[in-house]
Amino acid sequence: MTYKETAYAPYDFANRRHIGPSPAEMTEMLEAVGAPSLDALIDQIVPDDIRLKTPMTWGKALSEQGVLAKLRSVADKNRVMTSFIGQGYHGTVTPPPIQRNIFENPAWYTAYTPYQPEISQGRLEALLNYQTMIADLTALDVANASLLDEGTAAAEAVALCQRSAKSKATAFFVDQDCHPQTIAVVKTRAEALGWTVVTGNPFADLDPAAVFGALFQYPGTYGHVHDFTDVIAKLHAAGALACVAADPLALTVLKAPGEMGADIAIGTTQRFGVPMGYGGPHAAYMAVKDALKRNMPGRIVGVSIDARGNRAYRLSLQTREQHIRREKATSNVCTAQALLAVMASMYAVFHGPEGLKAIAERIHRKTVRLANGLEAAGFKVEPAAFFDTITIEVGAVQGAILKSAEAEGINLRRVGTTKIGISLDERATRAHTEAIWRAFGIDRRDDDLSHDYRLPQALVRSSDYLTHPVFHMNRAEAEMTRYMRRLADRDLALDRAMIPLGSCTMKLNATAEMMALSWPQFADVHPFAPETQTAGYAEMLRDLEAKLCLVTGYNAFSMQPNSGAQGEYAGLLTIQAYHRARGEGHRDVCLIPTSAHGTNPASAQMVGMKVVVVRVADNGDIDLDDFRAKAEAHAANLAACMITYPSTHGVFETTVREICQITHQHGGQVYLDGANMNAMVGLSRPGDIGSDVSHLNLHKTFAIPHGGGGPGMGPIGVKAHLAPYLPGNPMQADGGAVSAAPYGSASILLISWAYCLLMGGEGLTQATKVAILNANYIASRLKAAYPILYSAGGRVAHECILDTRVMKDRAGVTVDDVAKRLVDCGFHAPTMSWPVAGTLMVEPTESEPKAELDRFIAAMLGIAAEVEAIVEGKLDAEDNPLKRAPHTVEDLVGDWNRPYSREAACFPAGAFRVDKYWSPVNRVDNVYGDRHLICSCPPLESYAEAAE
Ligand SMILES: *Cc1c(COP(=O)(O)O)cnc(C)c1O
C-alpha cells in the first residue's frame, strides 16, 4: 500500500519551542504588517551597513533529548565531592518541597521584578519574610530584599559607610579574617573611587580616626568568633561606621551584630537551602540601622494598603534607586537575587527558629567532636571556641592530608602552606568525621555523642528571632506546600501570560534548559573546588564563551558579573584599567545619552567617572551634533561613552558607527549596553560596529529566567585590546574582581548554553527575526489606537513604544490606569514610563504565539475603546473601570453602586472567563507606603486569615 506520511517532525524542531508563531501564523502576521517575507521585513529594519554578512552557525542544533544527553555527559566530567572548604559556601539540604515548588516551579522562576505590586503580592510577601528573617537574625532595623553575593554586598557596605559616616577619612578597614574573595571585591570597588583599604587585625591594627568605616567577619574565615562591641564603640566615637559580615546560621546561636552596635550587617543566605552551584546564584543580604535605610542599596519591600484599605505589599523608597536617581543613586543594583531570597526565606519558614537553631547546634556539636578527635591525636586546632569552622596547623604534611581527604571524597581548605581549614555543614555525617580523621592519620570512631559546646560563652545568643507567626506554622508539609502555592497563585508570571516588558526580554525559559540545575554534578560543586574536579564546568564555560564571541564579534568574555548592571561596572573598570595601563588614567568622562537605562549613569558613578549627558533628537536617535561637541569638549579626559543598540527606543540608529568613531578619535572607549541583543543575535554584532565592550543580559536574551527580580548573569565581552584588563580571579591576587566567585553564578550559565545548543546559530537568528516580526505585528495592529513612537517608516525593531499621553489629555487616563487595567485583562503591564514618561514600551519576544499577541491586542484595543467612552461621556470621568482597576473578587460581592457593570469591571477584552487571573488586591497606594514605612512582616494579623 502507498502510505502518506505526515510531514511533521517534532523532534527535529526543538527550537520551535522557543518560537511562538507557527509558520502559518507568521504568514498571516507578515500580511498584517505588509511585508512580503520575514527576510524582506528584516531588510527594511536592520540597516545594511551593520548586517552580519555570513550566517552565524556552529553546527546542527541539538534536539531536546540531545541537549539533555550533552548536559549529562558534561555533568559526568565534574566530580562531586563533599566540600568542607567553607569560606562562605556550604553544603545544604534544599527541602524537597522548596526544590520542587519554588526552585523548579515556573510560577516562581518566570516572574518579573515586582514593580507592578498588584500582580506580585506572593513574591512580595516571601521577600518581606526574607527581610524579616534578616532583620531578626542580625538584630538590625531594616533589611533589603537581597544583593548579588557576599563580596558585592561588602563592597556596597563600604560605599554606604562612605556616604553616611561623619568621618571624612578616605580609608576603610577590612578585618584580615574576612573571606579572601570578599577582600578582593571590596578592594576593586574602593580603588576605583580612590579609597584606601587597610587590612589587618581589628584588635591591634585598627586606628578608628583614620577610617570612615570597618568590616569584620563573624565568624572569621578561619573560625574565630570575636566580640566587636568595643571596637565598634571606638569607631563610633571617631565618627566611623561598623559593618559585620555574618553567617546567618551562626546567628541562630551567637550574639547578633546589632547587639554589638554594628550599623550594617551583610552576608550570604546560601546555606539556607540554596545549592552552591559552583558559585551561585544565591542571595546576599544587607541589614542596617534605621538611620541608614534611605541610603541603603537594593530593593526594599514594604507594607502599604490598597484602594479598599486592605494590606498590600510594594517596593518602598524607590527614589533611592538607579531607575529614578541615575548617577545620584545609592547603587546600580537592578536585577538582584529574588528567587534565591525566596528560597532562603522558605527554608526559614519550613524549619522555624527552633529548626534553624537545631541545625546550627548539630553542626556545632559535630565540629566539636571533630576538633576533640584531632586534638586528642596531638594536632593544634584553632580557635579554642568556634561555631562550625576550625583551622589545624599541620606543617609539611598539608598536601598529603588534603590528598588523603580527596581520596575519601572530601575537599578541605588549603590555608597558607601549613594549615588546613574545615567547615562542617548540615550534610556532614559521622562517616564524614571519621573520614576526615583518617585523612589526618587518626583511626577513631565518631561515637562519643555527649553534647559538648565550644561556643564562646560571652557570645551565646539570648535574644529571640523569627517570632512572627509565619515562621511558626504547623510543620506539616501539607501546610507548607499550600502556603507556597497560595503565594504563587497571587502572582502573574510567564507560565500564565505574556509579560511584554520592553527592554526586559521576558522570553520562554524552556524546561529542558532548566533541568540540569538540580543535578548534583552541577548543584553541589563548591566554587573553590580543585580544578581537577570541575572539568565539566570548564568545558561548558569554554564552549559558551566561544559561542558568545561568535554572537557578539568580541574576542574574550568574563563570566563574573552577576547582573547586567554589574557587567556595566565590570566593563567600565576594564576600560579604566586599560587607560591607566597606557598612562592615561586621568581619563574619567563618560558620555551617556539621556535615553540610557538608569544603571548606565549609576555604574559610571561607581567607578568614579563623571557623567556627561548627551541629548537625544526628536526622532529618538542620539543627537550627533551634541555628541560630537561633547566628545570634542572633553577630548582630553574622555574615558568612554555608553550607548545602547538598538537604542532604548528600539531604533537601529544609522549613526552608530559614527558615534563609535567619534569616541575613538577622542581617546575614549565604547561601552555598548547589550540588553537589546535580542534584536541583533545573528543579524549584527557589536564588535563589528566599533564597540569595545558590552555586557549581555543572559537573563534576557539567553533564556535565563528572571526569578521575580533575579538571578541574572551579565557577562562582558571585549575586543582583544581590553582582554588583559578583564576582572581578575577573586581567589588570586590579580585584582579587579567584581564577584565573589570566579564565574559568577556559574550554574545558571548552563541555561544559556543549553539554549544555544538547542537553537543552533540558525535558530538563534530565526528567533531574532521573529522577535522583530512580533513587535511589528503589535505595532501594526495597535497604531490606529495608539501613536507608535520612533517608528521610522512605520517599522520598529524588537519592541515598540505606545504613546498613552494622548489619553491623559483627552480623558484624564494615565499610563498607570492603563497598566492596572491590563491586570484585569490578565496581563503584566509593559515597561511603564521608560524610556519616555507617560508611555508603554512593549516587547513581545519571539516566544509568544499569535493567539497571545492577539489577546494582548484585544485588551489594548478594549482599553482604547474605554478611553473613547470617557471622551464621549458614556463612562464617568472618575468612576470608570480604568481609574478603578484592578478589580478583585471583592468587587463581585456586596453593594455595587458604580456607573459601570461588574461584568465590564472584571471581564474586559482579553480576560479569560474560566482561567481569569484575579488580582489579590485593588490598586496599591504608593504614597501611603512610603509615609508609613514598614519593611518587615506586620505584627498583628494572623496568617490563618489567608488560609480561610
Ligand atoms: C535590564 C537592563 C539593564 C540592567 O540589567 P540588570 O541585569 O537588571 O542589572 C541595563 N541596561 C538596559 C538597557 C537594560 O534593559
Q: How far, in Å, from the CA of 97 to the mean position of ligand 1?
A: 32
Q: How far, in Å, from the CA of 702 to the mean position of ligand 1?
A: 13
The DSSP string of 845-885 is -TT--HHHHHHHHHHHHHHHHHHHHHHTTSS-SSSSTTTTP
Q: Which whole number is the average pLDDT over 140-165? A: 98
pLDDT tens digits for 368-406?
A: 999 999 999 999 999 999 999 999 999 999 999 999 999
Please give the Cα distance from 459 to 474 (Å, whole number).
31
Please give the Cα distance from 948 to 941 (Å, whole number).
13
Note the pLDDT of residue 806: 94
Please report whether residue 480 resides in a domain.
no
Single residue among 736, 759, 782 that ends a domain in this structure: 759
696 lines ligand 1 (CB under 6 A): no
644 lines ligand 1 (CB under 6 A): yes
678 lines ligand 1 (CB under 6 A): no
Buried residues in 800-827 as b, exposed as e (16+ CB within 10 A): bbbebeebeeebbbbbbbbbbbbbbbbb
pLDDT tens digits for 645-667?
A: 999 999 999 999 999 999 999 99
697 lines ligand 1 (CB under 6 A): yes
Total residue count of the chain as it appears in this document: 948
Note the pLDDT of residue 9: 58
Mean residue pLDDT across the chain: 95
564 lines ligand 1 (CB under 6 A): yes
Pocket test for ligand 1, best of 697, 739, 801, 836 (most atoms within 8 A of CB): 697
DSSP letter, residue 15: G
714 lines ligand 1 (CB under 6 A): yes
In ligand 1, which atom is closest to the CA atom of 567? 9
In ligand 1, which atom is closest to the CA atom of 599? 10
648 lines ligand 1 (CB under 6 A): yes
Please report whether residue 124 resides in a domain.
no
Note the pLDDT of residue 944: 41
Single residue among 759, 782, 799 that ends a domain in this structure: 759
DSSP reduced 3-state for 674? helix
Q: Whose CA is nearest to atom 6 of ligand 1?
A: 564
Note the pLDDT of residue 943: 41
Q: How far, in Å, from the CA of 599 to the mean position of ligand 1?
A: 7
Q: How many domains does the chain have?
A: 2
Question: Which cell goes with 488?
Answer: 504563587
DSSP letter, residue 643: E
Q: Is the pLDDT of residue 14 over 90?
A: no
Pocket test for ligand 1, best of 333, 503, 672, 801 (most atoms within 8 A of CB): 503
Q: Provide φ and ψ at 114, rounded to 5°.
A: -75, 55
In the structure, what pLDDT confidence band is assigned to residue 726 with cuts at 50, 70 and 90? Answer: very high
Cβ contacts of 317 within 8 Å, gap of 6 or more: 293, 294, 300, 302, 930, 933
335 lines ligand 1 (CB under 6 A): yes
Q: How far, in Å, from the CA of 244 to the mean position of ligand 1?
A: 30
Output the domain CATH number for residue 663: 3.40.640.10
**Domain, as residue range, for 135:** 129-216+226-348
Q: How far, in Å, from the CA of 514 to the mean position of ligand 1?
A: 22
Pocket test for ligand 1, best of 332, 568, 599 (most atoms within 8 A of CB): 599
712 lines ligand 1 (CB under 6 A): yes
Please give the Cα distance from 288 to 165 (Å, whole number).
13
Contact 742, 560 (CB under 8 A): yes
Q: Whose CA is nearest to atom 4 of ligand 1?
A: 564
Q: Is the pLDDT of residue 11 over 60?
A: no
In ligand 1, which atom is closest to the CA atom of 565? 9
Note the pLDDT of residue 940: 53
862 lines ligand 1 (CB under 6 A): no
334 lines ligand 1 (CB under 6 A): yes
Q: How far, in Å, from the CA of 717 to the mean position of ligand 1?
A: 15
Single residue among 759, 781, 807 that ends a domain in this structure: 759
Range list of β-strands (E), 400-474: 410-411, 413-415, 419-423
Q: How far, in Å, from the CA of 225 to the mean position of ligand 1?
A: 39
DSSP reduced 3-state for 19? coil
Contact 717, 564 (CB under 8 A): no
Q: How far, in Å, from the CA of 89 to the mean position of ligand 1?
A: 27
Q: How far, in Å, from the CA of 134 to the mean position of ligand 1?
A: 27
Please report whether residue 634 resides in a domain.
yes
Q: How far, in Å, from the CA of 391 to the mean position of ligand 1?
A: 42
Note the pLDDT of residue 92: 98
835 lines ligand 1 (CB under 6 A): no
DSSP letter, residue 652: -
Q: How far, in Å, from the CA of 597 to the mean position of ligand 1?
A: 7
pLDDT tens digits for 611-647?
A: 999 999 988 899 999 999 999 999 999 999 999 999 9
Q: Provide φ and ψ at 216, rounded to 5°.
A: -120, 150
Looking at residue 608, its amino acid is: G
Q: How far is CA 390 from the centre of its chain?
A: 33
Q: At what angle do helices 338-376 and 477-490 cross, to 10 degrees?
A: 150
Please report whether residue 617 resides in a domain.
yes
| % of the chain at pLDDT higher than 70 | 98
pTM attached to this predicted model: 0.97
In the structure, what pLDDT confidence band is assigned to residue 505 with cuts at 50, 70 and 90? Answer: very high
Please report whether residue 410 resides in a domain.
no
Q: Whose CA is nearest to atom 8 of ligand 1?
A: 335
331 lines ligand 1 (CB under 6 A): no
Q: How far, in Å, from the CA of 635 to the mean position of ligand 1?
A: 28
In ligand 1, which atom is closest to the CA atom of 332? 9
In the structure, what pLDDT confidence band is assigned to residue 13 with cuts at 50, 70 and 90? Answer: low
For residue 902, the tally of other CB atoms under 10 A from its CB is 13
The DSSP H or E segment spanning 341 is: helix 338-376
Pocket test for ligand 1, best of 673, 680, 843 (most atoms within 8 A of CB): 673
267 lines ligand 1 (CB under 6 A): no
715 lines ligand 1 (CB under 6 A): no
565 lines ligand 1 (CB under 6 A): yes
Please give the Cα distance from 22 to 25 (Å, whole number).
5
Asked which of 161-170, 445-454, 779-788 is least confident by mean pLDDT, the reply is 445-454
Strands 589-593 and 389-393: unpaired
Pocket test for ligand 1, best of 113, 149, 299, 335 (most atoms within 8 A of CB): 335
Please report whether residue 390 resides in a domain.
no
Q: Whose CA is nearest to atom 14 of ligand 1?
A: 675
Contact 686, 645 (CB under 8 A): yes
Please give the Cα distance from 181 to 44 (Å, whole number).
49
Q: Whose CA is nearest to atom 3 of ligand 1?
A: 564
Question: Which cell goes with 830?
Answer: 509593559
Please report whether residue 202 resides in a domain.
yes
Q: Which whole number is the average pLDDT over 3-31? A: 81
Please report whether residue 199 resides in a domain.
yes
Please give the Cα distance from 198 to 233 (Å, whole number).
19
Contact 655, 828 (CB under 8 A): no
| % of the chain at pLDDT higher than 90 | 92
Question: Which cell goes with 862?
Answer: 478594549
Question: Which cell goes with 652?
Answer: 537601529
Q: Provide φ and ψ at 526, rounded to 5°.
A: -75, 140
DSSP letter, residue 646: S
Please give the Cα distance from 174 to 151 (Å, whole number).
12
Q: Is the pLDDT of residue 119 over 80?
A: yes
pLDDT tens digits for 872-917?
A: 999 999 999 999 999 999 999 999 999 999 999 999 999 999 999 9
